């Protein structure tokens, strides 16, 4: 008899999950945001240069087709927005190959929502409302704090994230006894930011309150809009609590042509770095051509939020069956 037939988590964690799901649905119902479902399986996928994908085969023999398991419901939800759905939210599974660790399971649960007519500031207010509402009975939180990426980066490292100075970045890594940073990051500004932020900045964020970090460097734009006042930054926000990243949101890019170019650039990067081939979502590009309403949206990792609420330190403590038992 196998000993790992049992759940990874305690039954109490399942009850907490059910309670939190119920509260989230109540929160959005009261605000008139529509719950939707979109496919987990699709013909195209995200092009993020750093994401590993799961693929599967649809059909048999010569007619067989490759389908992707979604890395996030973003594209399908944006197509709904373009089709006139109004504000929507979804609670669903997302899949990222190779991501496994204390805070990662390759299959995980996302809460993703889009607010028509919101900008990044409006969205941050709603994120704070939701988090404070969900945490009220579990944690004694002061408030939610908003900080710019440039400010938190500078205050913890003394470095300017918007201006790449190879000498200064390398000197910082040496001071932290990480000489291998040189071979890891080379002369790529984006890699250096990923390395320094994830190793030295992120662990310090949000010790007693949620941090909303906004104004990401433009080279980490993803699907966000360029900021109107400071074109070196984009209107992107990330949520942190006790050093853990909980969510990522944007004031959404509407420009179909720019989106298409970003996809192509990312596909190019994936080819250069030897990543799995991806299929560009031309339907999303067409939807954007039709027109995406002014909106802001964010995805929150629900499993991590549950970890925080229940003071667990490993993601498997809040999952019925983590990947090793699935």
Residue 239: closest CA among 306, 161, 301: 301
Q: For residues 67 and 237, which CB has a smaller minimum distance to another protein in the complex?
A: 237
Q: Which residue in the set 22, 50, 175, 290 belongs to the binding site for another protein (CB under 8 A)? A: 50
Residue 197 binds another protein (CB under 8 A): yes
Residue 242: closest CA among 280, 199, 268, 204: 204
Q: Which residue in the set 22, 102, 175, 290 belongs to the binding site for another protein (CB under 8 A)? A: 102
Which residues, at least 6 apart from 232, have a Cβ–Cβ distance to it below 8 Å? 162, 217, 218
Q: Which residue in the set 248, 259, 260, 322 belongs to the binding site for another protein (CB under 8 A)? A: 248
Window contacting another protein (CB under 8 A); options: 8-16, 21-29, 138-146, 184-192: 184-192
Residue 245 binds another protein (CB under 8 A): yes
Residue 100 binds another protein (CB under 8 A): yes
Q: Which residue in the set 82, 130, 131, 181 belongs to the binding site for another protein (CB under 8 A)? A: 181
Six token digits for residue 243: 């050093």
Residue 272 binds another protein (CB under 8 A): no
Q: Which residue in the set 107, 112, 126, 238 belongs to the binding site for another protein (CB under 8 A)? A: 238
Q: Which of residues 23-42 bind another protein (CB under 8 A)?
A: none
Q: For residues 98 and 117, which CB has a smaller minimum distance to another protein in the complex?
A: 98
- The partner residues of 89 in beta bridges, in order of sequence, read 35, 113
Residue 99 binds another protein (CB under 8 A): yes
Q: Tell me which residue has tokens 């629900």.
A: 302
Residue 103 binds another protein (CB under 8 A): yes
Q: Which residue in the set 220, 254, 269, 320 belongs to the binding site for another protein (CB under 8 A)? A: 220
Give CA–CA dist 279/204, Å, rounded.
37
Residue 326 binds another protein (CB under 8 A): no
Residue 222 binds another protein (CB under 8 A): yes
- Per the CB < 8 A criterion, the answer to whether 210 and 241 are in contact is yes
Give CA–CA dist 232/229, Å, rounded.
9
**What's the 3-state SS for 84-132?**
CCCCEEEEEEEECCCCCECCECCEEEEEEEEEECCCHHHHHHHHHHHHH
Q: Which residue in the set 44, 148, 156, 178 belongs to the binding site for another protein (CB under 8 A)? A: 178
- Per the CB < 8 A criterion, the answer to whether 304 and 244 are in contact is yes
The DSSP code sequence of 241-272 is: ETTEEEEEEEEB---HHHHHHHHHHHHHHHHH
- Count the residues of the shown chain that bind another protein, applying the rule CB under 8 A: 29
Which residues, at least 6 apart from 262, have a Cβ–Cβ distance to it below 8 Å? 221, 222, 223, 253
Q: CB of residue 184 vs another protein: minimum separation in angstroms? A: 6
Residue 190 binds another protein (CB under 8 A): yes
Residue 74: closest CA among 253, 294, 302: 253
Q: Which residue in the set 28, 195, 211, 263 belongs to the binding site for another protein (CB under 8 A)? A: 195
Q: CB of residue 200 vs another protein: minimum separation in angstroms? A: 11
Residue 276 binds another protein (CB under 8 A): no
3-state DSSP assignment of residue 32: coil
Residue 191 binds another protein (CB under 8 A): yes
Q: Which residue in the set 101, 231, 272, 311 belongs to the binding site for another protein (CB under 8 A)? A: 101
Give CA–CA dist 270/48, Å, rounded.
8
Contact positions vs another protein (CB under 8 A):
48, 50, 98-104, 177-178, 180-181, 184, 190-191, 193-195, 197-199, 202, 220, 222, 238, 245, 247-248
């Amino acid at each position: 008899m196998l000993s790992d037939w049992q759940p990874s988590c305690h039954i109490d964690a399942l009850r907490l999950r059910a309670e939190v799901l119920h509260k989230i649905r109540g929160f959005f119902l009261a605000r008139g945001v529509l719950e939707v479902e979109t496919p987990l399986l699709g013909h195209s996928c995200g092009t993020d240069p750093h994401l590993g994908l799961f693929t599967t085969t649809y059909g048999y023999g010569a007619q067989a087709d490759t389908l992707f398991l979604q890395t996030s419901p973003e594209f399908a939800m944006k197509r709904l927005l373009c089709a006139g759905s109004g504000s929507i939210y979804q609670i669903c599974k997302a899949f990222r190959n190779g991501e496994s660790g204390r805070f990662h399971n390759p299959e995980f649960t996302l809460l993703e929502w889009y607010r028509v007519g919101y900008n990044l500031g409006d969205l941050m207010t709603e994120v704070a409302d939701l988090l404070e509402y969900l945490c009220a009975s579990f944690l004694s939180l002061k408030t939610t704090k908003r900080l710019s990426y440039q400010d938190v980066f500078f205050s913890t490292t003394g470095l300017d994230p918007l201006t790449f100075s190879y000498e200064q970045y390398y000197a910082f890594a040496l001071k932290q006894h990480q000489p291998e940073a040189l071979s890891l990051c080379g002369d790529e500004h984006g890699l250096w930011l990923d390395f320094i932020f994830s190793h030295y900045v992120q662990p310090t964020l949000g010790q007693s309150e949620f941090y909303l970090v906004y104004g990401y460097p433009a080279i980490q734009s993803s699907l966000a809009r360029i900021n109107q006042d400071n074109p070196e930054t984009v209107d992107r926000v990330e949520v942190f609590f006790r050093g853990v990243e909980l969510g990522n949101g944007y004031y959404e890019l509407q420009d179909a042509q720019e989106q298409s170019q970003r996809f192509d650039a990312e596909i190019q990067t994936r080819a250069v770095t030897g990543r799995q081939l991806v299929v560009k979502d031309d339907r999303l590009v067409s939807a954007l051509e039709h027109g995406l309403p002014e909106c802001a949206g964010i995805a929150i990792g629900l499993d991590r939020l549950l970890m925080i609420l229940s003071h667990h330190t490993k993601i498997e403590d809040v999952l019925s069956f983590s990947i090793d038992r699935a």
